[in-house]
Amino acid sequence: MRDKFIIEGRHKLKGEIDIWGSKNASLPIMAASLLNSGDLILDNVPPVKDNLTMAEILRYLGLSVEFLEGDKVHIKGEPKGYRAPYELVSRMRASFELMGPLLAYFGEAEIPYPGGCRIGLRPVDLHIKGFESLGAEITVDKGFVCARAKKGLKGAKIHLDKPSVGATRNIMMAAVLAQGETIIENAACEPEVVDLGNFLKSMGAEIEGLGTSTIYIKGKKELKPIDYYKIIPDRIAAGTFIIAGIMIGKDLVIKNIEPEHLQSLFIKLKEAGVNSLQIRDREVRVKGEKVWKGIEVTTMPYPGFPTDLQPQMMVFLSLAQGTSLIVETVFENRFLHVGELLRLGAKISIDGRTALIQGVEKLKGAPVEATDLRAGAALVLAGLVAEGVTEVLDVDEHIDRGYVALEEKLSALGANIKRVSYEEGKKVSDLSL
């Protein structure tokens, strides 16, 4: 059996929503806890499917991991193995970021090629080149990437061909225990990279340049254990609710956010004619809009417009006046949701990595399938604003990976949405509303 959402659209959202901690920051910080030999509490860790998977992997490697009330995770112990299990790693790409801390701790690591959303090839070559620069020998054996540094890791100058978030973080975690200085050029600047760096610094790592394109790391023989660290808020979840509030909100307050992390979204919304946002220190108030206009959006590494908000933005622009253009430069397959939006009445055409969107007056409910995490969130937004009933299939496979009890939080704000189970293997065309 699988889960789906049944959404009756056009119900206004009103009230307050507290945004949970960042999934994309939690995952590498949980991985980096392999370098913390103490008794650690990580705060603001959402109990989403990906984080539960990471916890399973850490337990397999020998750590004790317990989820507590209030989005806290208790992690203690030291790793006893350096080979991660295929059946768990294959569920998500972020698990490959275990290689950096395992390589730093043991001098060797064996990680299967990772899984995750089907939004592009997302090769791990930049990770591998970085580890090789640090002195590791890389081989591939039966689907496992095996890294060994018989003489220990040594600092190096590493230039990334592109600012990869995963590669930047993985190399950082390995370099903090490497001998000498490591310089990462063309590094990713995302807040989730900065948060990992701050976590490592709290354990005594010497890191400079976080949030810039050049990161400097002076390796140390060991790190000191810490007992507490709090994860930053989830900017993608915040952006999802902000877009929902504009389209179907009455008076919505999105709390526990970092407005600085959302500037690219705010800029694009303003270009579209959105004037209802009231941005405060740690929250945004949205009263909703009746009309907005088409704009051009190009996804880029931070501080550019995030690819993880592109599907949600496409729903928003599907209801804009005039024509919009979205150029996806990060992932080559991140338009899989377009076919599903067409089922709801959107007018979108694709040419390579460019989507041309002709705004329509309204969307109409229909059965649709979530194709990946963010596409699933976008389809939920479409269902909230569509006329009639929308069914979003495979929410347990995709949406649950990054959104915490989404149907409960939306229901509390006034949405008419419920989760039900359905028989696995049924096609959308077989399902009736």
Task: Give the per-residue pLDDT at 425.
Answer: 57
Task: Give the per-residue pLDDT at 91.
Answer: 79
CATH of span 23-230: 3.65.10.10
Pair 371, 400: CB distance under 8 Å: no
Pair 192, 258: CB distance under 8 Å: no
The β-bridge relationship of strands 181-185 and 157-159 is parallel
**Domain spans in the chain, listed from the N-terminal domain onward:** 2-20+233-430, 23-230
Phi and psi of 139, rounded to 5°? -135, 160
Give the Cα separation of 168 and 26 in Å (integer): 15
Task: Give the per-residue pLDDT at 341.
Answer: 98
The dihedral formed by the CA atoms of 326, 334, 247 and 377, expressed in degrees to the nearest 10: -170
Give the Cα separation of 94 and 402 in Å (integer): 12
Which of 288, 237, 290, 289 is closest to 265 using CA atoms?
Answer: 237
Residues of the chain with pLDDT under 70: 115-123, 424-433
Task: Give the per-residue pLDDT at 166.
Answer: 94
- Measured in whole angstroms, the distance separating CA 112 from the mean position of its chain's CA atoms is 20
Encoded tokens for 364: 């109409």
Which of 362, 355, 422, 414 is closest to 392 using CA atoms?
Answer: 422
Give the Cα separation of 47 and 65 in Å (integer): 12
How big is the chain, counted in residues? 433
Q: List residues with catalytic annotation.
A: 117
Which of 160, 163, 176 is closest to 208 using CA atoms?
Answer: 176
Task: Give the per-residue pLDDT at 295.
Answer: 98
Do 2-20+233-430 and 23-230 have matching folds?
A: yes
Q: Give the CATH fold of the 2-20+233-430 domain.
A: UDP-n-acetylglucosamine1-carboxyvinyl-transferase; Chain (3.65.10)
Give the Cα separation of 379 and 377 in Å (integer): 5
Task: Give the per-residue pLDDT at 120.
Answer: 40
Task: Give the per-residue pLDDT at 411.
Answer: 98
